Amino acid sequence: MTDIAQPALTKKDFASDQEVRWCPGCGDYAILNALQKHMAESGADPAKTVFVSGIGCSSRFPYYMNTYGFHTIHGRAPAVATGVKVANPDLDVWIVTGDGDSLSIGGNHLAHILRRNLDVNILMFNNEIYGLTKGQYSPTSPVGTKKKSTPMGSIDRPFEPAQFAVGSQATFVARTVDQDMKHMSKILKAAAAHKGTSFIEILQNCVIFNKDFYATTVEKKVRPDRTVDLVAGEPMIYGADRDKGLRFNGFTVERCSAEEADVWRPDTPSHAPTVLIAGMRDAPEMPVPVGVLRAVEAPVYEVGVNAQVEDAIATKGAGELKDLVYDGEIWTVD
């Protein structure tokens, strides 16, 4: 019997029949479009793909993907995704979350999935605000943010998501923007190819409560001078004329000419270069780094877990659940 070749899937094959409902102009539309396109181009199987989300505007994502999905509770998407991946390692698992969902109530869960290095992809939409709950400041909002919950200005120091990820021993950290489909597609492809947890921060505009917040960074007319795209093995240069560069000077990053720029190495064992580069967003005179900030190898969590299970079965047998329940001290209540 000859296998019949299946037709290649298209972007439309990964779109569900649900009406996509975000605010007009929201960057979530672009991210959804890029991911559906990536799924088709990568040859993904909808029957072996799972999207897991928490709570927030971004967390509607599973409804709009023609794959399996879980819309879970606030901050707990990593816990659910861990169960999915450990139970069935062959599944392609994606976590979709926002800066509030992942770094506030979900901060503890995010840290642990990163350090465990589960083979999943995390997309963190960062608009530096709580959008779904009407505009409160979030864990990534700058000091002084004046919103309904902070009328005099926030006094919390914000998280830098990339530094948080590196501090949690993430093996792949990247940053992209919702307005650059080509760059986002490149980052999605790199993340999907990585073995281990991939963490992608997507700078995303909230048109209602944080409109034009990234305008001075990612708008086309300013982007060449305000961002630097970090590419492994290439000099860290930027600018409309590609005449500006970055180099390391001890524990700082400084501007220089393109000829003096250091070559970017995201695979260095040390965390220091990524921490320094990610922290440049605090310096207004420095460009915002995008691209792959870190990419190293480490043992993959579900591989180790299932190896232990297989070893236990080989040495002790498969066992029965009732034997486990009734093992040790038990009580009979009349």
DSSP helix/strand/coil, 34: helix
DSSP helix/strand/coil, 235: strand
87 assigned to some structural domain: yes
60 assigned to some structural domain: yes
Tell me, what amino acid is at 37?
Answer: K
pTM over 0.85: yes
78 assigned to some structural domain: yes
6 assigned to some structural domain: no
248 and 276 Cβ atoms separated by less than 8 Å: yes
What is the count of structural domains for the chain? 1
What CA–CA distance (Å, rounded) separates 56 from 74?
A: 8
Orientation of helix 107-116 relative to helix 77-87, angle to 10°: 30
283 assigned to some structural domain: no
Tell me, what amino acid is at 193?
Answer: A
pLDDT at site 136: 83
266 assigned to some structural domain: no
pLDDT at site 194: 98
Half-sphere exposure of 300 (CA within 13 A, CB side): 17
201 assigned to some structural domain: yes
**CATH code, domain carrying 155:** 3.40.50.970
Q: What are phi and psi of 300, to 5 degrees?
A: -95, 130
Query: Which residues constitute the domain of residue 163?
Result: 11-221+289-307
Strand order in the sheet with 244-249: 237-238, 244-249, 252-257
122 and 180 Cβ atoms separated by less than 8 Å: no
Rounded mean pLDDT for each run of 10 residues along the chain, 334 residues in total? 70 95 92 96 96 94 96 96 97 96 92 98 92 82 85 90 95 95 96 98 90 82 93 96 96 95 96 91 85 97 95 90 84 84
Closest CA to 58 of 7, 93, 97, 84: 97
119 assigned to some structural domain: yes
Taking CA atoms, 252 is separated from 162, 244, 277, 295, 307, in Å, by: 17, 17, 9, 21, 42
103 and 159 Cβ atoms separated by less than 8 Å: yes
What CA–CA distance (Å, rounded) separates 64 from 55?
A: 15
